[in-house]
């Protein structure tokens, strides 16, 4: 397990140091409780504490969550991120609920293209707990958050957090917290029309940059970007809703409107990836600052994140739109597609009349007439081929197998070259090392020029070797610096 030395962890605990929040959890042997290192409770003696790399590891060791510091809202900024793509992809699938039903670790390993024993070893090495324990911890901590932060019924909370029945939920909760779920419920006078949750992260967080990036690409009717707000429509399994995100203190405030509570856990997992909430930007920035060209960019924006994507198919379509055109032109083309193939929904579903359209599914793209899109015929054919492939294989754009295998599936489709595939991997797969070296904006950035001359894609790739495993973040710094230069 990747852990700082015991004395370093204890000093962080004694100082309530937020730098290790999300990277370590503290088990107190005298109470049987585990906490975040920022817990306001009295600091225990060094002999009475154990440190764990994850909440699941602490619970596997027999500790129960603290009710004061609330481990369920801690940032997930484990130090190992960037070193194991297999674990990252496994956690993404667990976040989507793969282990909430009858599927076991064998099915998870098969989706990842690794052996079950190898997957267990990786989880033990990096998280200190097996995959099933990680999934169970995720369910119970999410349930705890819903109990305290919403007025959902216990039956809805059980369903939303992946429990098969209220009885199983009650039994698991009593076993862990030694009290009933209803004993923790905060009474409120008014019912909520939507679910509002807090999603933690490890500061700093460059909200301005991520909002500007998403705003420049926002599709009218589907997304809405304002000064302190991002909102968009969503569709999951044929049901419609919306999400709204606003900044808070070391957390994002998320409001979810969706008719099926079972989807809440998956929606939260997608939002964490979309807003890159689990990045340890201090470690990433320290690594990238070793490059003389990147160092001033990291200094200027120390909390910069790499925006993810809500949906892999949607981003793949938008990546095709972005080939050899400006960001604004790609945005306009995406808007034309939504006008032709999207679905109109009412404000009673989204909560905002400006959010009125749903990005089309593969089947709706297939049924639409794309001939008047105002694009080259080859690119229209690429859109159609992608839609047909994704409709035929719903798992085409899932993180199945290795990242290389996922990219190979894309590259086998017409219209997908290395730039498009790498850009898609950077945002949809959350591959921290993806790098579209042929990107024009990267090649012309002053930070990578050599004696005033642009490097070739091959030369830029060679230089980027030193940036691994964080090349995606290097690319984001370069893109953002160009945007800063344009807007002064």
Reported as a single tens digit per residue, the pLDDT across 56-109 is: 999 999 999 999 999 998 887 666 676 677 888 888 888 888 887 767 899 899
pLDDT at 472 over 90: yes
Mean of the pLDDT values across residues 398-426? 86
Long-range Cβ contact pairs of 374-381 (< 8 A, separation 24 or more)? 374/333, 374/336, 375/321, 375/333, 378/414, 378/415, 379/320, 379/323, 379/415, 381/414, 381/415
Nearest to 20 by CA among 92, 93, 98, 74: 74
Percent of the chain with pLDDT over 70: 95
What domains lie within the chain, and their CATH numbers? 6-72 (3.40.10.10), 85-184 (1.10.10.60), 195-278 (3.30.310.20), 287-304+430-488 (no CATH)
pLDDT of residue 193: 61
CA atoms within 13 A on the CB side of 165: 3
The average pLDDT across 425-452 equals 92
Q: Could you confirm whether 439 is annotated as catalytic? A: yes
The closest of 328, 218, 325 to 274, measured between CA atoms, is 218
**Active-site residue (options: 35, 39, 66, 69):** 35
What is the number of residues in the chain?
488
pLDDT in the model for residue 454? 93
Q: Which of 132, 119, 25 is nearest to 78 (CA)?
A: 25
Report d(CA 21, CA 17) in Å as an integer: 7
Average pLDDT over residues 318-340: 93
pLDDT, mean of residues 401-427: 89
Output 461 or 450, whichever has higher pLDDT: 461
Please check the confidence at residue 379 and state whether its pLDDT lies above 70. Answer: yes
Residue 28 phi/psi, 5° resolution? -105, 110
Distance of alpha carbon 386 from alpha carbon 396, whole angstroms:
10
39 catalytic? Reply is: no
- The chain-wide mean pLDDT, for the chain, equals 90
* Separation of alpha carbons 108 and 53, rounded Å: 22
pLDDT mean over 186-193 = 45
State residue 83's pLDDT score: 67
Residue 463 burial (C-beta neighbours within 10 Å; 0-12, 13-18, 19+): middle
3-state helix, strand, coil in the chain (%, to 5): 50, 10, 40
Are the C-beta atoms of 50 and 122 separated by less than 8 Å? no
Whether the CB-CB separation of 232 and 271 falls below 8 Å is answered with no
Q: What string of DSSP letters covers 423-474? A: HHHHHTS--TT---TT-HHHHT-GGG-BTTBPPPHHHHHHHHGGGTT-HHHH
Give the mean pLDDT of 248-257.
Answer: 93
Give the pLDDT of residue 191.
Answer: 39
Residue-wise pLDDT tens digits, 132-162: 999 999 999 999 999 988 888 999 999 999 8
| Contact by Cβ (8 Å): 317, 365 | yes
Q: How confident is the model at residue 189 (pLDDT cuts 50, 70, 90)?
A: very low
Taking each helix axis from N to C end, the angle separating 312-321 and 418-427, rounded to the nearest 10 degrees, works out to: 140
Burial (CB < 10 A; 0-12, 13-18, 19+), residue 471, is buried
Chain position carrying tokens 């510091």: 69
Report the 10 Å Cβ neighbour count for 422: 23
Structure tokens at 235: 């569709």
d(CA 2, CA 318): 37
**Using alpha carbons only, what angle is made at residue 101 by residues 260 and 389, rounded to the nearest 5 degrees?**
75
User: pLDDT grade, residue 187 (50/70/90)?
Assistant: very low
Which pLDDT band holds residue 399 (cuts at 50, 70, 90)? low
């Amino acid at each position: 397990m990747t852990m700082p030395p015991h004395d370093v962890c204890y000093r962080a605990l004694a100082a309530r140091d937020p730098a290790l929040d999300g990277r370590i959890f503290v088990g107190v042997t005298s109470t049987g409780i585990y906490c975040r290192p920022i817990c306001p409770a009295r600091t225990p003696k060094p002999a009475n504490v154990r440190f764990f790399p994850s909440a699941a590891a602490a619970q596997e060791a027999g500790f129960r969550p603290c009710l004061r510091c609330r481990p369920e809202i801690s940032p997930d900024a484990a130090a190992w991120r960037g070193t194991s793509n297999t674990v990252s992809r496994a956690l993404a699938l667990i976040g989507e609920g793969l282990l909430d039903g009858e599927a076991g670790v064998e099915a998870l390993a098969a989706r990842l293209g690794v052996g079950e024993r190898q997957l267990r070893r990786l989880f033990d090495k990096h998280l200190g707990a097996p995959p099933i324990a990680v999934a169970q911890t995720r369910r119970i901590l999410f349930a705890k958050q819903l109990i305290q932060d919403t007025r959902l019924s216990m039956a809805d909370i059980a369903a939303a957090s992946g429990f098969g029945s209220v009885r199983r939920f009650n039994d698991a909760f009593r076993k862990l917290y030694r009290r009933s779920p209803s004993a923790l419920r905060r009474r409120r006078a008014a019912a909520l029309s939507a679910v509002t949750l807090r999603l933690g992260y490890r500061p700093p967080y460059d909200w301005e940059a991520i909002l500007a990036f998403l705003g420049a690409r926002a599709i009218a009717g589907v997304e809405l970007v304002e000064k302190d707000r991002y909102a968009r429509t969503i569709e999951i399994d044929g049901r419609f809703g919306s999400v709204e995100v606003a900044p808070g203190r070391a957390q994002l405030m998320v409001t979810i409107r969706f008719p099926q509570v079972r989807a809440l856990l998956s929606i939260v997992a997608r939002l964490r990836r979309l807003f890159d909430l689990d990045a340890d930007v201090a470690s990433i920035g320290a690594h990238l600052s070793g490059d003389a060209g990147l160092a001033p960019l990291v200094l200027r924006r120390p909390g910069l994140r790499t925006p993810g994507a809500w949906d892999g198919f949607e981003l793949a379509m938008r990546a095709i739109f972005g080939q050899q055109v400006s960001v604004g032109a790609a945005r306009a083309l995406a808007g034309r597609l939504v006008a032709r193939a999207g679905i109109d929904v009412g404000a009673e579903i989204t909560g905002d009349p400006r959010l009125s359209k749903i990005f089309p599914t593969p089947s709706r793209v297939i049924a639409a007439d794309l001939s008047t899109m105002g694009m080259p015929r080859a690119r229209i054919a690429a859109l159609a081929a992608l839609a047909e492939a994704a409709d035929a294989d719903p798992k085409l754009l899932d993180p199945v197998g290795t990242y290389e295998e996922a990219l190979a599936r894309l590259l086998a489709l017409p219209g997908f070259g290395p730039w498009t595939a790498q850009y898609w991997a950077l945002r949809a797969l959350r591959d921290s090392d993806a790098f579209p070296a042929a990107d024009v904006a990267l090649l012309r950035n002053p930070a990578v020029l050599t004696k005033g001359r642009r490097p070739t894609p091959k030369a830029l790739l060679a230089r980027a070797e030193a940036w691994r495993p964080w090349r995606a973040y290097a690319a984001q710094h370069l893109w953002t610096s160009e945007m800063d230069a344009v807007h002064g």
